[in-house]
């Protein structure tokens, strides 16, 4: 029959036209989720030692509260992140409380859901519907919650049920089921924040392991905490996670000290921010500057470069360097902000802290764009091959070629996307397949960098 099947490498005994089919790239593609960050922080709101998933900037105060930790999460969103997984750390603290009068002698106790220093006020009043009452919750003079419950006999019970079911901020218990006395701006008092020490950070990094994210940071400028985070990130990379970390120090720290701290990481997975930027809403230095750059890095295409990235809302540099200091920062893996030709704050150079190359590293690992491209390639190929191998691929020429086809399909796709210049996966010619194992290598694999340095020679003639 015309078009009979043949196996790869097979030689038929009769003349004719033979066919086979293979996957040439028409499979569902894997792409890394973009814009997912993580932060381990001090906060004045939220559950302790648990993942708090924040899905947009407007949720930060509701889920985390205020303070530097909340500012770090907010700046990650300002940089372009879509989701941030935060962990609130610390021990101790106390919730704030208020007691409402029920009937003649009863009471209804309101308590904040978490230990906090946030100042809440409550009002109980008649609703527009005469069969209803409402509990209003205020913070900073602004109403943040309204709960409606049935008036009359049993209204304390109804209010407790409503608070339990719907309140984002309070819990409630009552000693009586009667009428709740009207109250105007009753303050909840006695609340205190958690106490935090360095160990609270180091023991909480692992809490993030249940979630996928691109990069992680902390709300601290303490080099000891930075080193502990580095150890965590290195462990996760060794376990197969493609991730990075961003930390920073304030420009008030001596320049040479900042340089030495950056060099000490010497890691393509670590970005260290060494000065700050003035914005229309405040100054970003240390942890908040690192958070903004982290958000810029994880958002957008994997081909995006941070070099020359304008800081939205930026109006000046905090801790501006001399020309020689900018050069020294670039040579020593310290990312800094500078002014562009129009006087607008920008990220000077999109580098990480890798300075001295390891045996398996090339110069490309020093650039954050190329790190992200390489992570993207590794994730795409390993995911496709893992899926294929779960369907019992034979360790035969056909089976190995099938995996090669999958990998080269991804390389071709990333070449068309402009992330790679060339490359292909081949069976390792130096290590023969054996038993249930096969070895592959990538030949002529070249990832693209941005054009960030232009050298212009002007030849003038009179």
Confirm or reject CATH 3.40.50.300 for domain 36-90+196-347, answering yes or no: no
- Packed helices 287-298 and 68-78: angle between N→C axes, nearest 10 degrees: 30
Please compute the mean of the pLDDT values over residues 73-98 and round it to a whole number.
Answer: 97
pLDDT higher than 50, residue 252: yes
Distance separating alpha carbons of residues 115 and 96, to the nearest angstrom: 7
Q: Distance between CA 236 and CA 418 in Å, rounded?
A: 29
Q: What pLDDT score does 153 carry?
A: 87
- pLDDT by residue (tens digit) across 20-30? 554 444 444 55
Q: Kindly tell me if the per-residue pLDDT of 190 is higher than 50.
A: yes
Structure-model confidence comparison of residues 65 and 5, the more confident one: 65
pTM: 0.88
pLDDT at 27: 47
| Whole-number Å distance between alpha carbons of 69 and 42 | 5
- Give the per-residue pLDDT at 23: 47
Cα 319 to chain centroid, rounded? 26
CATH topology classification for 97-187? Immunoglobulin-like (2.60.40)
Residue 38 has pLDDT above 70, yes or no: yes
Q: Residue 25 has what pLDDT?
A: 47
Highest mean pLDDT among 27-36, 218-227, 371-380, 413-422: 218-227
The per-residue pLDDT for 455 is 78
Can you name the residues that pair with 273 across neighbouring β-strands?
A: 248, 335
Q: What is the CA radius of gyration of the chain?
A: 29
Q: Name the segment(s) of the chain with CATH classification 2.60.40.4290.
A: 97-187
The predicted pLDDT at position 8 comes to 58
Residue position matching structure tokens 């941030």: 84
The closest of 98, 95, 104 to 135, measured between CA atoms, is 98
């Amino acid at each position: 029959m015309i078009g009979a099947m043949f196996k790869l490498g097979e030689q038929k005994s009769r003349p004719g036209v033979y066919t086979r089919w293979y996957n040439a790239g028409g499979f569902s593609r894997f792409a890394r989720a973009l814009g997912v960050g993580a932060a381990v922080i001090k906060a004045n709101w939220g559950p302790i030692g648990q993942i708090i998933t924040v899905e947009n900037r407007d949720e930060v105060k509701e889920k985390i509260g205020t303070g530097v930790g909340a500012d770090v999460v907010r700046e990650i969103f300002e940089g372009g992140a879509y989701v941030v997984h935060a962990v609130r750390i610390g021990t101790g603290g106390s919730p704030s409380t208020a007691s409402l009068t029920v009937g003649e002698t009863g009471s209804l106790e309101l308590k904040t859901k978490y230990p906090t220093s946030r100042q809440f006020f409550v009002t109980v009043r008649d609703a527009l519907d005469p069969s209803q009452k409402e509990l209003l919750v205020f913070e900073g003079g602004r109403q943040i919650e309204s709960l409606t419950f049935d008036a009359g006999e049993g209204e304390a019970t109804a209010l407790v049920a409503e608070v339990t079911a719907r309140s984002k901020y309070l819990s409630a218990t009552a000693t009586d089921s009667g009428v709740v006395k009207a109250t105007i701006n009753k303050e909840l008092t006695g609340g205190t924040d958690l106490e935090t020490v360095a160990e609270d950070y180091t023991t909480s990094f692992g809490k993030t392991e249940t979630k996928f994210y691109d990069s992680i940071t902390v709300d601290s400028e303490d080099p000891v905490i930075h080193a502990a985070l580095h150890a965590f990130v290195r462990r996760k990379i060794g376990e197969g996670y493609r991730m990075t970390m961003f930390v920073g120090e304030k420009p008030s720290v001596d320049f040479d000290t900042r340089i030495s701290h950056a060099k000490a990481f010497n890691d393509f997975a670590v970005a260290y921010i060494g000065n700050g930027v003035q914005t229309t809403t405040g100054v970003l230095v240390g942890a908040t500057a690192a958070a903004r750059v982290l958000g810029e890095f994880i958002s957008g295409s994997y081909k995006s470069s941070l070099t020359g990235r304008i800081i939205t809302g930026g109006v000046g540099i905090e801790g501006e360097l001399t020309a020689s200091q900018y050069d020294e920062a670039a040579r020593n893996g310290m990312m800094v902000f500078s002014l562009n030709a129009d006087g607008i704050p920008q990220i000077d150079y999109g580098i990480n802290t890798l300075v001295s190359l390891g045996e398996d590293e090339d110069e490309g690992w020093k650039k954050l764009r190329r790190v992200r491209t390489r992570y993207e390639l590794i994730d795409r190929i390993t995911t496709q091959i893992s899926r294929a191998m779960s369907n019992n691929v034979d360790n035969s020429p056909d089976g190995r070629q099938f995996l090669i086809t999958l990998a080269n399909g991804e390389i071709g796709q990333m070449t068309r996307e402009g992330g790679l210049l060339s490359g292909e996966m081949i069976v390792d010619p130096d290590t023969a397949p054996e038993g249930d194992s096969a070895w592959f290598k990538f030949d002529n694999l070249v990832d693209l960098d941005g054009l960030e340095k232009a050298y212009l020679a002007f030849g003038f003639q009179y």
